[in-house]
Structure 1
Amino acid sequence: MKLFSNTFSTLENGLNYASLNQKVISQNIANVDTPNYKAKKVEFKSLLDQSTQHLEAKRTNQRHLTFGPYSQHPEVMTKSSFQYNHNGNGVDLDQEMSEMATNQIYFNALSDRINGKFNSLQSVIRGGK
């Protein structure tokens, strides 16, 4: 018998992704003046899109799509070779700051959701008090 649903592990994976994304964005911002530094990004969506043909699941009807659990982790990739500065640097500071704000909103939403889950568990443990 499973005590908790997959919600906690899903939220944990989302928080891990947001954390990795924050580290990569921070590295890019820190290296904005480093000659020949190429910006990096966390790729997850493209990995998921590529793997859809390999996913399997139980189908109750032949017309249902085939899919299943996805176990790969996000990868840190170097962005294309854009040069934003005369020194060969490939970091667009405005874009990085925008991505950081988006990632912060994503992280806050996930942490609020997991906090709500823990509050629900606490309420159940206390008997609804």
Structure 2
Amino acid sequence: MFEQIREGSAFMRQALQGYSVRQQALSLNLSNTDTPNYKRMDVGFEEQLRAKAKLTEPSPMTLTDVRHMPFAGPAAFSPAVSIDRSTTLRRDGNNIDIDQEMSKVSQNEIGYNAATQFLSGRFAMLKYVIADGGGS
């Protein structure tokens, strides 16, 4: 059970990291709405999370002797930042659509809030197991 809580928490921490990096990119986009030749940025991380979610079995590797080589663990998680150079919405070369960016901010906020609620539930479950779950 603790392994499931730990793995679920690590997965959601990575999701929160992705949402956080995306929020930074969206904030930059919004703050550069009037900057000539500014190109919007986006952050992709969902495919990495989907790939990690498909790996349902935990790694059975454990370090049983100090002479063994340590297991490196899963591949590092790194949200991919991309710049959209394919479009230009205005004469000044800027491609920020404020309505689209605000919509993306709302979508990102919903995802972030869902991930924090999931983590909160996991930690509440862990707290219950530690404090009250033993029964009498």
Residue 94 of structure 1, aligned match among 96, 99, 112: 99
AA partner of residue 16 (structure 2) = L
| Paired residue type of 2:114 | A
- SS of the aligned residue for 1:5 comes to helix
Q: List runs of 5+ in structure 1 lacking aligned partners.
A: 58-68
Choose 2-11 or 84-93, whichever is displaced more. 2-11
- Once the two structures are superposed, the pairs formed by residues 44-123 of structure 1 within 5 Å of their partners are 44-45=45-46, 48=48, 71-123=76-128
TM-score, normalisation: structure 1: 0.74
Q: CA-atom RMSD, angstroms?
A: 2.5
Mapped partners of 2:6, 2:79: distance in 1: 23
Question: Which structure carries more relative contact order (alpha carbon 8 Å, separation 6+)?
Answer: 2
Give, as a single letter, the amino acid of the residue that structure 1 aligns with 2:37.
Answer: N
Letter in 2 for 1:86: R
How many percent identity over aligned positions? 34
- 8 Å CA contact retained: 2:45, 2:79: yes
- Please name the residue that 1:29 is paired with: 30
In structure 2, stretches of 5+ residues that fail to align are 58-73
In the TM superposition, structure 1's runs of 4+ consecutive aligned residues that sit over 6 Å from their partners are: none
Q: Once the 2 structures are TM-superposed, how far is the Cα of residue 117 of structure 1 from its aligned partner?
A: 0.6
Q: 1:13: which partner in 2?
A: 14
**What is the TM-score when the length of structure 2 is the normalising length?**
0.71
For this pair of structures, how many residues does the alignment match? 110
